[in-house]
């Protein structure tokens, strides 16, 4: 394991770290939108009237995006790529509390913790469903 | 011809980084890059960008889109700079780092700094691929195993 790399990494300045972090975030967001819309980098290049090789360079994680180029990408994809904290706060703070009412029968069983997996809710077993019906 | 060894460089959560070490040299090639550029004030920002980029790749995975293909090998470019670090990407989990330098010509073959580094990584990729086909070198999940020395 390289001690020279570890030592050198500690000396990387905060602004360089932020630059690379931001660049990766932008690239990953663009990639996410492209995947969601079933588009390729080639499609994006065509939409922007750019060469595919240029768009590939942007996706390296070290590209210094300008606000102009981000805006163009947002425009052709019709999606937000960059969120500004003050705007996001305004947008999301308007939904601070959502009242939720639940109605339950006295003997109703609920799925146990194990029934919740990372990918979502697992259907209750037949036994559990029957218990609900009985109640 | 020189003998080189593929050596473990840094293990991250997502990616195993390897470097290459020429027989008889004190440092591996990636450490050599660091030692040559850590005091270069002109390229300080670009050099630091490459180092932090390596860390990000280690944490996020060596995804294909992050690399600039350079024939059979790849390069880590800082798009606003001429500084290059050559590498071989085997998968999202395995990356072999080489050495780097300042690219002084538009085409790599015309650059006396970068061409030898580019050639080393490309020749090495060919040799490793051969060795994998002959079942002497193995890529197992996040590790390169078996024959790890090559004549370049």
What CA–CA distance (Å, rounded) separates B80 from B67?
A: 15
Residue A128 confidence (pLDDT) = 61
How far is the alpha carbon of A63 from chain B, nearest alpha carbon, in Å? Answer: 5
* Chain B residues whose beta carbon lies within 8 Å of the beta carbon of residue A11: 38, 48
Which of these, B64, B65, B63, B33, lies nearest to B50 by C-alpha position? Answer: B33
> Can you read off the two tokens belonging to residue B41?
């004030």
Beta bridge partners of residue B151, listed in sequence order: B3
Beta bridge partners of residue B73, listed in sequence order: B70
Residue B11 confidence (pLDDT) = 95
Q: Which of A8, A29, A40 to mutate to test the interface with B (most CBs of B within 10 A)?
A: A8
- Res A118 pLDDT > 80: no
Q: Which residues of A49-75 are buried (b: 16+ CB within 10 A; e: fewer)?
A: eeeeeebbebbbbbbebeeeebeebbe
How far is the alpha carbon of A11 from chain B, nearest alpha carbon, in Å? Answer: 8
Residue A92 confidence (pLDDT) = 76
Q: B122 near B42, Cβ under 8 Å?
A: no
Strands B94-102 and B16-22: parallel
Give how far Cα B84 sits from Cα of A32, B51, B63, B89, Å.
Answer: 27, 11, 18, 15
Query: Phi and psi dihedrals of A117, rounded to 5?
Result: -105, 165
Residue A103 confidence (pLDDT) = 74
A90 versus A133: the higher-pLDDT residue is A90
Residue A29 confidence (pLDDT) = 96
The H or E element containing residue B31 is helix B29-37
Tell me the average pLDDT across A27-40. 96
Could you tell me how many residues make up chain B?
152
Which of B11, B50, B65 has its CB closest to that of A59?
A: B65
Query: Phi and psi dihedrals of B100, rounded to 5?
Result: -145, 170
What CA–CA distance (Å, rounded) separates A7 from B122?
A: 29
- Res A53 pLDDT > 80: yes
Average the pLDDT over each of A50-59, A99-108, B5-14, B23-32 and give the range with the smallest value.
A99-108
Residue A135 confidence (pLDDT) = 45
* Chain A residues whose beta carbon lies within 8 Å of the beta carbon of residue B45: 13, 16
Residue A132 confidence (pLDDT) = 52
Residues whose CB falls within 8 Å of the CB of residue B9, separated by 6 or more in sequence, listed in order: A1, A2, A5, B17, B18, B19, B28, B30, B97
Strands B94-102 and B137-140: unpaired
Beta bridge partners of residue B74, listed in sequence order: B69, B87
Q: Which of A4, A29, A33 to mutate to test the interface with B (most CBs of B within 10 A)?
A: A4
How far is the alpha carbon of A75 from chain B, nearest alpha carbon, in Å? Answer: 22
* pTM of the model as a whole: 0.81
- Res A56 pLDDT > 90: no
> Can you read off the two tokens belonging to residue B42?
């002109």
Q: Is B11 near chain A, with CB under 8 Å?
A: yes
- pLDDT tens digits along B75-100: 887 677 889 999 999 999 999 999 99
Residue B151 confidence (pLDDT) = 94
The H or E element containing residue A121 is strand A120-121
Q: Is B140 near chain A, with CB under 8 Å?
A: no
Positions in chain B short of pLDDT 70: 78
- pLDDT tens digits along A1-32: 789 999 999 999 999 999 999 999 999 999 99
ipTM over 0.95: no
């Amino acid at each position: 394991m390289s001690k020279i790399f570890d030592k050198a990494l500690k000396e990387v300045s905060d602004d360089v770290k932020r630059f690379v972090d931001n660049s990766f975030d932008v690239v990953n967001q663009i990639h996410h939108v492209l995947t969601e819309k079933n588009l390729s980098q080639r499609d994006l290049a065509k939409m922007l009237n750019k060469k595919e090789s240029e768009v590939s360079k942007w996706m390296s994680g070290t590209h210094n995006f300008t606000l102009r180029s981000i805006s163009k990408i947002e425009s052709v994809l019709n999606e937000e790529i960059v969120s500004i904290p003050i705007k996001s706060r305004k947008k999301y703070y308007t939904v601070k509390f959502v009242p939720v009412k639940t109605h339950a029968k006295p003997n109703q069983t609920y799925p146990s913790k194990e029934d919740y997996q990372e990918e979502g809710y697992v259907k209750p077993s037949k036994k559990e469903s029957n218990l609900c019906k009985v109640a | 011809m020189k003998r080189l060894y593929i050596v473990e460089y840094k293990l991250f959560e997502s990616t195993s980084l390897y470097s290459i070490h020429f027989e008889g040299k004190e440092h591996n090639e990636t450490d050599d890059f660091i030692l040559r550029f850590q005091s270069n004030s002109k390229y300080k920002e670009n050099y630091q960008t490459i180092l932090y980029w390596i860390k990000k790749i280690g944490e996020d995975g060596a995804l294909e889109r992050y690399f600039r293909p350079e024939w059979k090998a790849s390069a880590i470019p800082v798009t606003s700079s001429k500084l290059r670090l050559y590498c071989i990407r085997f998968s999202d989990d395995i990356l072999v780092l080489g050495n780097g330098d300042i690219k002084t010509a538009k085409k790599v073959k015309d650059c006396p700094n970068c061409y030898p580094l580019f050639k080393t990584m490309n020749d090495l990729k060919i040799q490793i691929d051969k060795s994998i086909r002959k079942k002497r070198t193995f890529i197992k999940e996040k590790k390169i195993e078996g024959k790890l020395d090559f004549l370049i």
